[in-house]
Structure 1
Amino acid sequence: MIRLLWTLSNSVRYYFRRYVPSDRLLDTIRTRRGLKWGIPAMLVAVPYLLLANLCTTLLANGGPGWLNLVVLVCVWNSFKFLIAGPVSVVLLVRARIREAIERRPARVSSEMLPGADYSMAEAV
């Protein structure tokens, strides 16, 4: 039974990541080239919240009950985009630190001239 639930949840996750536009945009933001767009992508949450507000207003005035699902999806997507901003900043900082560490040995070896004596006596 647990295996069936696990398989079903993986299938749903794959389908959403493949075909739902908000998940595709978030996957693009999580790439190395897209990390710089994390903070501006937080602005995408605003239209979702406005749509959720509109739907709740319609529900309060006697709208159809299926609008509750629209509100749920809009709020969920807005949270995803609001969280994507700070997460992308952390991932960008980690990536830049990793890249600086990888460049460091190459920079040190290119600054040293072959055959030169780099002893402490010459520095004094």
Structure 2
Amino acid sequence: MNAAELEKFGGTLAGVAVAVRGDDELVLSVAGHAFATLCLCGPERGRLSFAVEAGHFVELTARAGIVPAHYTARPFWITLIEPERFGAAQTQAFVRRSYELVREGLSKRQQVLLAARESAAPKKRAVRKRKD
């Protein structure tokens, strides 16, 4: 998943902000709490890091292409060091679950505000093609 794809996917999740930190890292956050980062340049370019459930951390880091993230202040974060091993659907599922984990950790007030923002957002309607 490249930066444009990650940013587009992040836009489908309620309350997500996207920012570039330090000129080399794309950060997706909800209510000011990061849930995914993508390295934009250097030897780690393309590596995606995100939060996982504590119970899945050991299982996931035992898989090829996944290592514990180097964020010492963020336990249970992993990094896809070989993102090409994972399809778009699986990568999106990882990022979505990370978003859910961070969102669940927000205060009740913040969760209520996000839910209100979700319900107030205009719904996309399916466009039907006309039969000619």
TM range (shorter): under 0.3
| TM-score using structure 1 length | 0.23
Question: Hey, which of these two has a bigger chunk of strand by percent?
Answer: 2
| TM-score using structure 2 length | 0.22
Indicate the structure whose relative CO is greater, using CA pairs within 8 Å and at least 6 residues apart. Answer: 1
Question: Hey, which of these two has a bigger chunk of helix by percent?
Answer: 1
